[in-house]
Amino acid sequence: MDKTSEEKIHIGLVLAGAVTAGAYTAGVLDYLFNTLFIWDEKYKEDPTTTPKPNVVIDIFTGASAGSIAAAVALIGLAKDSLKEVIDPYSKEASDNLLFDTWVNFGLKSEEEISEYLFSAADLEEGKLDALLNVEFMDHLIDKIVMKARSIEVNILPTFINPNLDVLFTLSNLKGIPIDLYFDSDKKRVAHTMSYHKAFAYFQNNKPTSDVSKLDLDLGDENSLRFFLKCARASGAFPVGLKSISFTGIPKDYINANLKRIFGEGFKFVPRVEEEYSFTAVDGGMTNNEPIAEALNVIGKEFNKNYKLIMIDPFPNFIPENPFATKDVKEDLFHIIPQLISTLRHQASFKERDISEMFDDNTDKNMIWPTRYDKNKKPLKNTIACGALSGFSGFIHKSFRVHDFMLGRKNCQSFLRYYFHLNEAQHPSASEWTSSLKDAYAFVDRHTDEIMLPIIPDFRIESKKIENNRTYFDPYINEDNTKGLVFPSIDYQKDIVPLEKLMNKRVKGIVDIAYDHLRKKDDEATVPIVKKRNELVFIKNFKIRLWRILGYTFMKTVGNRFIAKTVSNKLTNILIEELFKYKLLK
């Protein structure tokens, strides 16, 4: 490794799952990448007094919404479509691919996503793919591909490794059967387990001989569509959003990734066909924070000056004594939610990650949502898209605007006050003149060491020191930034029309569910079951008449009543959640 490479600071980005709170992740990335762009431009303008840019991003790993944010960000970087969003209500904001994807969902400014999500158009043929209508995702992907195709530029910036790795987590519903043998000659299978974690592992400029990765060519439409399809599959939240099917995945790719996961010396035998097919759902279900995968790349390949940054809109934190103020209840209404939570947390628990995370050589950093009240005390309801387990961003655009701008604000604070090295450890400390230190560095109030930023923010115009703390100006705040005031919506204006849309979709789902159950009854083959499904005291035509009348009644009255009851309950839950998060007037 040459001296220039050793002076580089290598970064791995881990983008956790977040459903619609991916808008927050998008805001963080917008500020991060534009800070790096500004640094590059300043160095080109004045290389004598500006530290040479020495940061390289080597890998993106993403789960669920994080995968979509990673994919869109990379396309935006290659296509020069990430112009900084200063005013979220300006026409120029939509030119930013991250903003247009995560805040606008690719729609026009006057359109609202709820009209598409609760549309019953996808139910007309009697098929139920998901609780929500996600046909807008097809249009969004088409829009991204069309925009990418219309821009001839296809060059990644210098702060992106030209051999960049991109990894998305997936949950494989089919699973990979793994046979275990207990005899020495391996002739008799004693036990079979099924492995359901999956990865879509891409590399830019991938060597042809490397079968463990998928080729990423942002200039090729087919490659781009497959890349976006994998990202979408990673974000296919179970039941709520449509699952994604894959065919023709090479056996060599599957086996190579199993070796990567379990190590070269694994002894089990995976049972995989030459061209593997499976259905994928949300990668966050089995691996919501792909940390070890990022560490493997930046740690093993470079092993010096590497930093891990995780962006997590929903960081998990369990109080020291979570049951101190709660009674443990053992009835099913309380046990079932705990059971679901237990299965999910255990499925995503990674023993290997834990050991690597506590390696002292690993420099770990995290950006997560923070807001403060007037007394500078942290607020609990930090992001507007956090209600309804991350689905509240589908309710109103103002929620997504706020979270995008909050992501920018939090990233600004992270770069200025937390992402730094002391002067002795900084690889380019010799390039930091006294005037640069006076403008962009600060003295740690605990160690009295001079702290130099890893990524300097050249938007800074001045700094001040109060009570031994350093403050940089200007800074993003509610007074000077549109969209950053915590939003709230109106019940009559926003919730009542939403309930009408919801009721129509729920009615369509109930009808399909009823038809499905009725068909199952008609297909019964066990004599006792068939007999139970018939009204034995009504003969011949009377049976058919009864069934027709009963079916008509259920479709016109019964199902409508059920749909109204369900949508009313869902609306009440929605109102309670929004009220709890202070999002409802």
Question: Which residues are marked as active site?
Answer: 64, 282
- 473 phi/psi in degrees, rounded to 5: -125, 155
Token output for 572:
């009440």
* Residue of 571, 573, 447, 445 whose CA lies nearest to 501: 571
Token output for 485:
């005031």
Distance CA 389, CA 18 (A): 9
Are the C-beta atoms of residues 365 and 357 closer than 8 Å to each other?
no
On the 0-12 / 13-18 / 19+ scale of CB atoms within 10 A, 130 is middle
| Half-sphere CA count of 376, side-chain side, radius 13 A | 0
Distance CA 53, CA 36 (A): 8
For the CA atoms of 47, 50, 56, 60, the dihedral, rounded to the nearest 10 degrees, stands at: -120
* Residue of 74, 248, 76, 91 whose CA lies nearest to 167: 74
Distance CA 153, CA 208 (A): 24
Q: Which are the contacts of 291, defined by CB distance < 8 A and separation ≥ 6?
A: 14, 61, 308, 310, 350, 353, 356, 357
Other C-beta atoms closer than 10 Å to the C-beta of 218 total 18
Distance CA 283, CA 288 (A): 7
On the 0-12 / 13-18 / 19+ scale of CB atoms within 10 A, 435 is exposed
Are the C-beta atoms of residues 128 and 513 closer than 8 Å to each other?
yes
Token output for 511:
């009808």
Are the C-beta atoms of residues 186 and 198 closer than 8 Å to each other?
no
DSSP string, 455-514: S--TT--EEEEETTEEEEES---TTTSTT-SPP-B-IIIIIHHHHHHHHHHHHHHHHHHH
DSSP H or E stretch at residue 401: helix 397-417
Token output for 129:
């793919």
Cα 385 to its chain centre, rounded Å, is 13
Q: Which residue in this structure is represented by tokens 């930013």?
A: 96
Cα 41 to its chain centre, rounded Å, is 30
Distance CA 250, CA 460 (A): 50
Are the C-beta atoms of residues 80 and 160 closer than 8 Å to each other?
no
